[in-house]
């Protein structure tokens, strides 16, 4: 099926929820045969069954979704007494016979994110059972978000090779549920992992933990409400997840640098209904400020309807972006080779010609026409990769700019976290490069970014050699990429020779990270592991090799520390974990590395990035520690 065309037909149709039923073996409500009076979804939430749909038999288990049209025949053969499902009947009024036919197609799909769909079904069903017209109306309004989530997951699986990114999905969930109580444990449970694992993924792909990111989403939403409405501060606080307006005000001031009232006053000059004003925006998100556990886990207590704020993504700002982009495109029609306003009129003609050429680039979201030689790049994640090739982007995100190993970041605009689409638009980029999580973090998602400028979504390899090669191709800097990779290979060879006299044949290496309340052992991807194990070719401790590099272990308990520590240890201690380290001191000192006196302290913040510039500096640090520590 052409899913893009099908989704477009959903966007054109007038859709009405007709009925939603919960069928269960225990209640004796699962029919053997059922002729559908309208188009429908079947959402299997528990157990297994053989389901016949228009003659095709599917062996299904929770969570599974089937779709069929009017008069389609359904047959259920439950395989156990715990089978239950939702049957959702709907009607779609369409303008053309082709569109109407699209809603009669039969298909079956296994979603990768279960809870969001199950929650939406339960909400619809609960509301539909109520007698009041208001409840029925709210159930109607809940049906399209359910359809959106089904189509989103199908589309994501189709375009991203069935490998949905956990952080991308968690970010999507946060944007959908930021008004509600969300803890790190609950968020991790939704996606079937531990809170520490989810935190590690967020840190690696976004630069902040999930709860820290949630706080930034809430503050960013509050800023939008303050600029675009006259709602009371108490109402805005509640709408972004904070029942205590005084706590919200303190938190807002900490992150925005002023009180909510002062922020509203400072931004009164912004004319929200004038698309051209977006090009003049000078609001830059503040640098992230660390916060304690109380702030991280302070959540909304109780429920409250904030329907006046419930506009869907893309919201008003995204629509204004589209209007502005269309206006700019109209003004540029017929002048594709014109010199950009930021370039001097006397610029070299050949450079202008190269800048105007385009090509098709295949990426995670499909194929996009991009400049052969992009001049104004916004990179939401890969900053060091561009700078290693001599390209300074016009904008990047807060946490990526906070990389302590990048020296010259002057003139690179901070587009915030979550990235501010209006700020990105004001930078007039000719190319936007992002990872899947950061694309989801922008209000309106990838589609909003792609309206601003050609946007490509690339892998996060955490491998400087692969990343430099990829960006050499993207930026038209193939020669510079080759030169960097050759120089890096020479540097590796030189350091291997320098450290070889100090490394014994039986030496093994480990990387231990002590955090408040958690212990991590790193493998061969980041925190210096790629340098130690891949580039320098040093041997990991046997337990590190089997359980971490070739397994799925990351977090360990204190009592097994000696098993994971080799004869030489790199130790990273996070801020606030000093007491944890003291409690572990005897265990670490009794390990082979402790007894040999070969424990090297590394800075967690310095070793968290894995871009080419950071890795080069990390290589210097590691090699010097090994040489000095073994003399």
Rounded CA separation 420/411 (Å) = 17
Reported as half-sphere exposure (CB side, CA atoms, 13 A), residue 117 has a value of 28
Rounded CA separation 121/202 (Å) = 29
Range(s) of the domain holding residue 24: 3-160
Q: Is residue 392 part of a domain?
A: yes
Confidence of residue 455 (pLDDT cuts 50, 70, 90): very high
Same domain, 148 and 259: no
Rounded CA separation 216/222 (Å) = 10
Its pTM stands at 0.66
Which H or E element spans position 606? Answer: helix 604-607
Chain centre distance of CA 123: 26
Quick one: 81 exposed, middle or buried, by C-beta within 10 A (0-12, 13-18, 19+)?
exposed
Rounded CA separation 116/303 (Å) = 19
Same domain, 55 and 200: no
> Going by DSSP bridges, is the β-strand pair 568-573/431-434 parallel, antiparallel, or unpaired?
unpaired
Chain centre distance of CA 603: 26
Question: Which pLDDT does position 405 carry in this prediction?
Answer: 87
**Mean predicted confidence (pLDDT) in 510-520:** 91
Percent with pLDDT over 70 in the chain: 85
Backbone angles phi, psi at 205, to 5 degrees: -100, -20
Q: Is residue 343 part of a domain?
A: no
CATH of the domain at 523: 3.40.50.1980
- Neighbouring C-beta atoms of residue 561, cutoff 10 Å: 20
Name the domain count of the chain.
Answer: 4
Same domain, 432 and 528: no
Same domain, 131 and 170: no
pLDDT exceeds cutoff 90 at 14: yes
pLDDT in tens, 38-86: 999 999 999 999 999 988 999 898 889 999 999 999 999 999 888 999 9
Same domain, 17 and 149: yes
Of the listed ranges 252-261, 322-331, 529-538, the one predicted with least confidence: 322-331
Same domain, 517 and 624: yes
Confidence of residue 306 (pLDDT cuts 50, 70, 90): very low
Q: Is residue 314 part of a domain?
A: no
Residue finishing a domain among 264, 295, 323: 264
Rounded CA separation 269/514 (Å) = 48
Same domain, 558 and 604: yes
Confidence of residue 555 (pLDDT cuts 50, 70, 90): confident
Q: Is residue 299 part of a domain?
A: no
Nearest alpha-carbon partner for 170 in 440, 449, 398, 400:
440
Question: Which pLDDT does position 355 carry in this prediction?
Answer: 55
Confidence of residue 273 (pLDDT cuts 50, 70, 90): very low
Which H or E element spans position 60? Answer: strand 56-61
Q: How many angstroms separate the first and last alpha carbons of the chain?
A: 66
Same domain, 150 and 171: no
* Contact between 216 and 259 (Cβ < 8 Å): no
* Contact between 424 and 396 (Cβ < 8 Å): no
pLDDT in tens, 529-550: 999 999 999 999 999 999 988 8
Same domain, 146 and 181: no
Question: Which pLDDT does position 556 carry in this prediction?
Answer: 87
Same domain, 199 and 122: no
Residue finishing a domain among 218, 241, 264: 264
- Neighbouring C-beta atoms of residue 122, cutoff 10 Å: 13
Same domain, 426 and 503: no
Match 């704020």 to its residue by tokens.
Answer: 309
């Amino acid at each position: 099926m052409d899913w893009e065309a099908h989704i477009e037909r959903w966007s054109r149709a007038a859709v009405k929820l007709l009925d939603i039923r919960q069928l269960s073996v225990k209640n004796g409500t699962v029919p053997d045969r059922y002729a559908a009076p309208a188009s429908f979804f079947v959402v299997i939430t528990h157990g297994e069954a053989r389901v016949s749909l228009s003659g095709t038999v599917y062996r299904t288990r929770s969570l599974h979704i089937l779709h069929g049209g009017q008069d389609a025949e359904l047959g259920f053969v439950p395989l156990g007494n715990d089978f239950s499902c939702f049957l959702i009947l709907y009607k779609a009024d369409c303008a053309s016979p082709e569109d109407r036919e699209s809603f009669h197609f039969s298909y079956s799909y296994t979603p990768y994110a279960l809870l969001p769909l199950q929650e939406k079904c339960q909400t619809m069903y609960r509301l539909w059972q109520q007698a009041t017209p208001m409840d029925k109306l709210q159930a109607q309004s809940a049906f399209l978000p359910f359809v959106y989530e089904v189509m989103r997951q199908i589309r994501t699986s189709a375009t991203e090779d069935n490998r949905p990114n956990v952080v991308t999905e968690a970010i999507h969930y946060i944007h959908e549920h930021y008004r509600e109580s969300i803890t790190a444990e609950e968020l991790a449970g939704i996606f079937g992992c531990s809170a520490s694992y989810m935190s590690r993924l967020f840190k690696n792909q976004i630069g902040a933990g999930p709860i820290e990111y949630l706080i930034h989403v809430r503050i960013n939403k509050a800023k939008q409400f303050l600029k675009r409405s006259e709602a009371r501060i108490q109402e805005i606080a509640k709408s972004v997840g904070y029942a205590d307006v005084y706590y919200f005000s303190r938190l807002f001031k900490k992150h925005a640098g002023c009180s909510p009232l002062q922020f509203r006053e400072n931004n009164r000059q912004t004319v929200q209904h004038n698309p051209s004003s977006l090009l003049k925006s000078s609001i830059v998100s503040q640098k992230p400020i660390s916060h304690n556990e109380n702030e991280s886990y302070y959540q909304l207590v109780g429920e409250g309807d904030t329907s006046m704020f419930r506009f869907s993504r893309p919201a008003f700002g995204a629509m204004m972006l589209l209007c502005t982009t269309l206006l700019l495109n109209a003004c540029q029609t017929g002048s594709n080779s014109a010199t950009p306003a930021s370039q001097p009129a006397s610029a070299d003609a050949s450079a202008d010609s190269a800048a105007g050429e385009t090509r098709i680039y295949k990426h995670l979201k499909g194929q996009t026409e991009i400049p052969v030689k992009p001049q104004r790049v916004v990179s939401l994640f890969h900053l060091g990769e561009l700078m290693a090739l001599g390209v300074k982007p016009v904008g990047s995100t807060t946490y990526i700019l906070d990389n302590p190993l990048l020296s010259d970041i002057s003139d690179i605009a901070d587009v915030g976290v979550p990235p501010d689409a209006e700020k990105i638009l004001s930078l007039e980029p000719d190319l936007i490069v992002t990872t899947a999580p950061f694309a989801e973090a922008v209000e309106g998602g990838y589609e909003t970014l792609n309206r601003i400028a050609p946007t490509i979504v690339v892998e996060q390899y955490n491998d400087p050699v692969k990343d430099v090669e990829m960006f050499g191709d993207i930026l038209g800097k193939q020669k510079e990429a080759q030169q960097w990779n050759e120089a890096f290979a020479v540097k590796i060879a030189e350091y291997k020779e320098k450290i070889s006299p100090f490394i014994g044949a039986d030496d093994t290496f480990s990387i231990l990270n002590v955090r408040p309340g958690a212990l991590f052992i790193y493998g061969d991807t980041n925190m210096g592991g790629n340098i130690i194990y891949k580039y320098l070719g040093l041997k990991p401790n046997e337990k590190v090799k089997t359980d971490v590099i070739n397994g799925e272990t990351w977090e360990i308990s204190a009592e097994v520390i000696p098993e994971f520590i080799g004869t030489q240890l790199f130790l990273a201690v996070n801020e606030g974990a000093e007491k944890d380290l003291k409690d572990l001191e005897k265990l670490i000192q009794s390990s082979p590395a402790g007894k040999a006196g070969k424990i090297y302290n590394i800075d967690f913040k310095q070793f968290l990035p894995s871009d080419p510039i950071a890795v080069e500096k990390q290589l210097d640090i590691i090699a010097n520690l090994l040489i000095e520590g073994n003399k």
